[in-house]
């Protein structure tokens, strides 16, 4: 990359140099990172060691938890380390790695969310063909496609961004964020932004439309279910998943498609924190809050004795 000789590193001006704010930043970031680490590690562990959870839905949920932990690990530890060492620097290669891995985890995360929507669509709308369609080989191929798609798109995204020459090394964010990098590029930032985002936005909106279409079909099928047990299953598995998708898409779209401001603001930092840190913390809570299968498996793993109020609850089928 030809511009590496000009810019050897960047300064992350994500937080003011006020000591009280730095301490507050460290405390909040450490707490959220530990919570995300514990929650996602628990979900992965419970799914791996509980044979009754070895189903497509929980297989994809384990992938999603790993992606959540990966995405928050890309940005938060570096920000905490900078605050502890009272520095704001990040190397050129370190910035490339942050952008590359963050895009990789976010894109693969989005693809997995679509795969999970398809899994619920088949389970509810075509339950007789569920085991045939969502067999072990198909699930592995879908998960692998999500990871491979993340690698391909991350390579394109990162290569396009760091092809530009930068007129400044000051990034008004606590991590290397692409909209902030475009602001300090010497090229026409508007043309660059269109080139970088047009492919991702086209893919994202088409993919999101397919997800919404799947949930419309699911909702129509649920309305035809006479039993309350089927509707309860819908609200315990599909509704949390749709909330997670909406949270991810709305926050990401707001960050990357809102008009860029000339000067940084606290609102910019809060929005970036929201889409980088809130989903990895909230996703495990959303999925486990109404999921009795996951709760039962957790208690069995911890105590080997299911709680009395969950002892009589049978494991439901795919739907």
Question: CA-CA distance, 57 to 80, in Å (whole number)?
Answer: 34
Going from N- to C-terminal start, the domains of the chain cover: 2-311
- Write down the pLDDT at residue 192: 54
H/E stretch holding 89 reads: strand 89-91
Q: What residues contact 271, with CB distance under 8 A and at least 6 apart?
A: 251, 254, 255
- Write down the pLDDT at residue 1: 44
Question: Contacts from 255-261 at CB under 8 Å and sequence distance 24+?
Answer: 255/177, 255/179, 256/178, 256/179, 256/197, 256/201, 257/197, 257/201, 260/179, 260/182, 260/183, 260/189, 260/193
List the chain residues with pLDDT less than 70: 1-7, 14-21, 187-197, 199-200, 225-238, 241, 255-268, 289-290, 304-319
Which tens digits make up the pLDDT trace of 163-201? 777 888 888 888 888 778 877 877 665 565 566 567 667
Is 276 exposed, middle or buried (CB count within 10 Å of its CB: 0-12, 13-18, 19+)?
buried
- The secondary structure of residue 168, as a DSSP letter, is -
**Which residue from 249, 298, 241, 289 is spatially nearest to 56, judged by alpha carbons?**
241
- Write down the pLDDT at residue 311: 45
Residue carrying structure tokens 């401001």 = 261
Give this prediction's pTM: 0.82
Determine the 3-state secondary structure of 264 from DSSP: coil
Question: CA-CA distance, 162 to 99, in Å (whole number)?
Answer: 10
Question: CA-CA distance, 160 to 181, in Å (whole number)?
Answer: 11
Determine the 3-state secondary structure of 134 from DSSP: coil
- Two tokens, residue 227: 């039993």
H/E stretch holding 91 reads: strand 89-91
Options 1.10.3720.10, 3.10.20.740, 1.20.1070.10, 3.60.120.10; CATH for 2-311 is: 1.20.1070.10
**Which residue from 184, 158, 46, 63 is spatially nearest to 102, judged by alpha carbons?**
158
Helix, strand, coil shares, percent, the chain, to 5: 75, 5, 20
- Write down the pLDDT at residue 98: 92
Question: CA-CA distance, 81 to 127, in Å (whole number)?
Answer: 50
Q: What residues contact 79, with CB distance under 8 A and at least 6 apart?
A: 12, 14, 25, 29, 174, 175
Phi-psi region of 288 (alpha: psi -120 to 50; beta: other; left: phi over 0): alpha
């Amino acid at each position: 990359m030809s511009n590496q000789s000009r810019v050897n590193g960047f300064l992350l001006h994500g937080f003011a140099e006020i000591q009280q704010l730095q301490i507050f930043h460290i405390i909040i970031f450490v707490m959220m990172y530990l919570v995300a680490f514990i929650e996602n590690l628990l979900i992965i562990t419970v799914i791996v060691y509980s044979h009754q959870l070895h189903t497509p839905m929980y297989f994809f949920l384990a992938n999603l938890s790993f992606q959540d932990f990966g995405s928050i690990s890309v940005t938060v530890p570096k920000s905490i380390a900078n605050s502890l060492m009272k520095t704001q620097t990040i190397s050129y290669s370190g910035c490339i790695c942050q952008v590359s891995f963050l895009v990789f985890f976010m894109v693969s995360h989005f693809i997995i969310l679509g795969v999970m929507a398809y899994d619920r669509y088949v389970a509810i709308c075509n339950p007789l063909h569920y085991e045939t369609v969502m067999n072990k080989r198909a699930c592995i191929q879908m998960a692998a496609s999500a990871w491979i798609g993340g690698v391909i798109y991350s390579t394109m995204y990162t290569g396009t961004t760091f092809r530009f020459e930068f007129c400044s090394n000051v990034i008004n964010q606590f991590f290397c964020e692409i909209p902030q990098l475009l602001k300090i590029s010497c090229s026409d930032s508007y043309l660059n932004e269109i080139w970088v985002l047009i492919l991702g936005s086209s893919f994202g909106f088409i993919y999101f439309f397919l997800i919404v279409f799947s949930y419309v079909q699911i909702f129509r099928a649920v309305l035809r279910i006479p039993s309350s047990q089927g509707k309860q299953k819908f609200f315990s598995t599909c509704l949390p998943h749709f909330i997670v998708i909406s949270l991810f898409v709305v926050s990401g779209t707001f960050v990357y498609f809102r008009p860029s401001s000339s000067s940084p603001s606290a609102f910019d930092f809060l929005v970036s924190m929201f889409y980088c840190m809130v989903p990895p913390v909230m996703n495990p809570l959303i999925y486990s809050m109404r999921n009795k299968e996951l709760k039962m498996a957790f208690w069995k793993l911890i105590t080997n004795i299911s709680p009395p109020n969950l002892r009589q609850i049978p494991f439901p089928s795919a739907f």
